[in-house]
């Protein structure tokens, strides 16, 4: 049985390009992001990966990444979209330029909001909060599909996927803040029957 789970961060968005905090805001992919999504499809196709189903967030940049990657793969997949996989909510920082935020609140405070595990920006979520909504959805919806042998593609966001990587890779609250996921780069996991990781590959450039 091929217990395949591939995690794919969406391609670059217009707001990534403009260095803005995005969170639950819903900008589209940039032209570079469109190409990253297609390239992700090409890399997965070159690996011979075939999927049975997909999961994505409620935000269009993740959904469009999934659509473009699947078009390149030549696949039409039953897909479930849920806000549990949305990006971390940056609250009052959403829509602000990161450099402007540093001027307003200070370099150190913005770094704490961005990189700590359990400190949330005003009106927003910490990574710990993101884990708390993403992980139950993974355990209830995604993991059972993978363990049934349904080869599964998840297109979502940097922080919602970091929550899953934290679980899969056995990372701690101290180590996860240093983990970065590149846009449009598939992470290929194969799981054991007990849901532990048998292997992991990053389909980078």
Total domain count, the chain:
1
Domain of residue 132, CATH code: 3.40.50.1240
Contact assessment for residue 79 and residue 55, using Cβ atoms and an 8 Å cutoff? yes
What pLDDT is attached to residue 91? Answer: 95
Active site residues: 10, 87
Domain that holds residue 71: 4-202
Give 10-residue mean pLDDT values along the chain (205 residues): 96 91 94 97 97 98 98 96 97 93 93 91 95 97 98 97 95 88 97 97 87
Q: Is the pTM of this model over 0.85?
A: yes
Q: In residues, how long is the chain?
A: 205
């Amino acid at each position: 049985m091929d217990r395949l789970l591939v995690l794919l961060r969406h391609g670059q968005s217009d707001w990534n390009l403009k260095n803005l905090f995005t969170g639950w805001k819903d900008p589209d992919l940039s032209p570079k992001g469109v190409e990253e999504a297609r390239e992700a499809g090409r890399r997965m196709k070159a690996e011979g990966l075939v999927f049975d189903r997909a999961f994505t967030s409620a935000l269009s940049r993740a959904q469009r990444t999934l659509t473009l990657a699947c078009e390149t793969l030549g696949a039409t997949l039953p897909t479930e979209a849920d806000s549990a996989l949305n990006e971390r909510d940056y609250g009052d920082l959403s829509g602000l330029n990161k450099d402007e935020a540093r001027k307003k609140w200070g370099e150190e405070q913005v770094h704490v909001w961005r990189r700590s595990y359990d400190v949330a920006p005003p009106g927003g979520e910490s990574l710990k909060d993101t884990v708390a909504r993403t992980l139950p959805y993974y355990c209830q919806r995604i993991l059972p599909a993978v363990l049934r042998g349904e080869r599964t593609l998840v297109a979502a966001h940097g922080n919602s996927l970091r929550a899953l990587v934290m679980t899969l890779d056995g990372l701690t609250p101290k180590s996860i803040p240093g983990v970065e996921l590149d846009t449009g780069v598939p992470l290929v996991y194969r799981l054991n029957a007990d849901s532990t990781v048998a292997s992991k590959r990053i389909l980078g450039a």
